[in-house]
Amino acid sequence: MGAAQTRTENKYQDLAEKTGFSQEQIKNLHKRFQYLSGDEETISRDDLRKIPALANNPIRKQIIEAFFDKRNQHQDEVGSFQEIGFEQFLMVMSHFRPPTLKTTDEEREAMRREKLRFLFNMHDTDSDGTITLEEYRKVVEELLSKSGSIGQEAAKAIADAAMLEVASTNVPHMGPDDFYEGITFEHFEQILKGLEMESRMHIRFLDVDAPTMHCGKSKS
């Protein structure tokens, strides 16, 4: 028992250094991981699709896909996993850490870039490094899909307007025959410069052992 304890603690130590979470947070997240995976070592897409609260989310697919996307693992690979382990789970979660008082300005910049990268990857499903009009349209459609009778036409029009905006902001002197390929990451950053992602896109990960929701089934 004691040896197993220290082994997990060492593992947590590694993970804590890699992802920046505290030990307590990792423990809580591990509990959640075990609940989601049914006490197995890995999670598949179906496990995540089973979460009832997520069913109402319009971009559910993109979120679930983000967990299996290799690009979110900070390892310069492309493609996607079939199943992910706890470490990969944590890596994706680490995108949502909030800045603390001690975060320096460079760290904030890096955080912001990381979070913007996450959003960019959500758009860029074919991993070619640009968001084409089709991909953007798809996301906008999904976003508006749950809101009743917004037609596909309207979603398309909005996506078009958004692309135009990016184009006109980043490539101001395009000639009439130029073709705007797609939004690159630099343009993406540029257009979302003012949003202060690092302060807004975060989750408060609990330190204390708060009971997490178990949806009727109580385990362990």
Partner 1 sequence: NETTMWFRKLCHRNQTLVLEWLVETSHPTFFLSAWIINQSEAPPEPRPAPIGTHAEKANLPVFTMDYPRIQIPFEVTLWVLLASFAKIGFHVYHKITVWVPESCLLISIGLIVGAIMHSVNEEPPAVLTSNVFFLYMLPPIVLDSGYFMPTRPFFENIGTVLWFAVVGTLWNSIGIGMSLFAICQIEAFGVQDINLQENLLFASIISAVDPVAVLNVFEDVSVNEQLYIVVFGECLFNDAVTVVLYNMFNFVAEMPVVEPVDVFLGVARFFVVGLGGMGFGILFGFVAAFTTRFTSKVREIEPLFIFMYSYLAYLVAELFAISSIMAIVTCALTMKYYVEENVSQRSCTTIRHVVKMLGSISETLIFFFLGVVTITTEHEWNWGYILFTLLFAFVWRGLGVLVLTQIINPFRTIPFNLKDQFGLAYGGLRGAISFALAFTLPDNIGRRQLFITATIAIILFTVFLQGISIRPLIELINVRRTNRNLDTINAEIHCRLMEHTIAGIEDLCGQWSHFYWKDKFMKFNNRILRRILIRDSRAESSIVALYKKLELQNAMEILDTVSGDISAAPSIVSLYEEKKNAGKPKKMFLAADLRNMHDILSKNMYKIRQRVRSGIIWIIFLALLLFIYMFSLITQSNTVSHFFMHLYFCGLCCKLSGRT
Please list every residue from 88 through 127 that binds partner 1, using CB under 8 A: 93, 96, 98-101, 119, 122
**30 to 10, 42, 155, 208: CA distances (angstroms):** 14, 12, 39, 13
Q: The tokens of 9 are what?
A: 């603690």
Please list every residue from 43 through 72 that binds partner 1, using CB under 8 A: 48, 51, 53-54, 56-60, 62-63
Does residue 140 belong to the site contacting partner 1 (CB under 8 A)?
Answer: yes
Does residue 185 belong to the site contacting partner 1 (CB under 8 A)?
Answer: no
User: Environment class of residue 89 by beta-carbon count within 10 Å: exposed (0-12), middle (13-18) or buried (19+)?
Assistant: buried
Distance CA 12, CA 101 (A): 24
Question: Sign of dihedral through CA atoms 7, 13, 78, 139?
Answer: positive
Number of residues in contact with partner 1, rule: CB under 8 A?
74
User: Least separation, in Å, of the C-beta of 98 and partner 1?
Assistant: 5
Gyration radius of the chain over CA positions = 20
- Stretch in the footprint of partner 1 (CB under 8 A) among 1-9, 10-18, 77-85, 155-163: 155-163
Helix axes 133-145, 152-170, angle to 10 degrees: 130
Does residue 218 belong to the site contacting partner 1 (CB under 8 A)?
Answer: no
> Using the rule CB under 8 A, which residue among 179, 186, 216, 218 binds partner 1?
179
Does residue 208 belong to the site contacting partner 1 (CB under 8 A)?
Answer: no
Distance CA 151, CA 144 (A): 9
> Using the rule CB under 8 A, which residue among 41, 128, 165, 209 binds partner 1?
165
Does residue 203 belong to the site contacting partner 1 (CB under 8 A)?
Answer: yes
> Using the rule CB under 8 A, which residue among 45, 113, 162, 185 binds partner 1?
162
